């Protein structure tokens, strides 16, 4: 059973930081690129960041570039999203996603107050 479980969400003031974690199981984690998506209330799902299977390359949405960093630890089957200088517009449910397998986590709520 493929499973992705996010953790690390919460409430933070504008300018603060959070780190999301996603624990993966049920597949060969190191073979697959991973994504972080987010969805704000009333908005469409947005791709936030992508990382290659070998942790060598990452890409970001323009809205988070320079503030967010995606990384992974293949030995632990985990992918992370470090979020710095958070803004109220970052408020959303953040989802971990495995490419090709197309598996989703349950989501982690991130709320940024002004």
Q: What is the DSSP string of 65-81?
A: TTTEEEEEETTTTEEEE
Mean pLDDT rounded to a whole number for the chain? 97
* Per-residue pLDDT band at 73 (split at 50, 70, 90): very high
Q: Residue 27 corresponds to which tokens in the numbers above?
A: 């597949």
Looking at residue 96, its pLDDT comes to 98
Give the pLDDT confidence score for residue 49 in this predicted structure.
Answer: 98
Residue 110, burial from CB neighbour count under 10 angstroms (0-12, 13-18, 19+): buried
Confidence of residue 3 (pLDDT cuts 50, 70, 90): very high
Q: What is the pLDDT of residues 81-109, one digit of tens each?
A: 999 999 999 999 999 999 999 999 999 99
- C-alpha distances (whole Å) from 105 to each of 17, 59, 63 are 21, 20, 22
| Short-list 104, 111, 105, 110, CA closest to 6 | 105
Q: What is the pLDDT of residue 85?
A: 98
pLDDT-based confidence at residue 7 (cuts at 50, 70, 90)? very high
* pLDDT tens by residue, 43-69: 999 999 999 999 999 999 999 999 999
């Amino acid at each position: 059973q493929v499973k992705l479980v996010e953790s690390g969400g919460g409430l933070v003031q504008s300018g603060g930081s959070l780190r999301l974690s996603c624990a993966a199981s049920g597949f060969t984690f190191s073979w697959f690129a991973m994504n972080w998506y987010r969805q704000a209330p009333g908005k469409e799902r947005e791709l936030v960041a992508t990382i290659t299977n070998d942790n060598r390359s990452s890409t970001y949405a323009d809205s988070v570039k320079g503030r967010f960093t995606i990384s992974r630890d293949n030995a632990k089957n985990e992918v992370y999203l470090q979020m710095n200088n958070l803004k109220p517009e970052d408020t959303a449910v953040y989802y971990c996603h495995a490419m090709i397998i197309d598996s989703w986590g349950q989501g982690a709520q991130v709320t940024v107050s002004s």
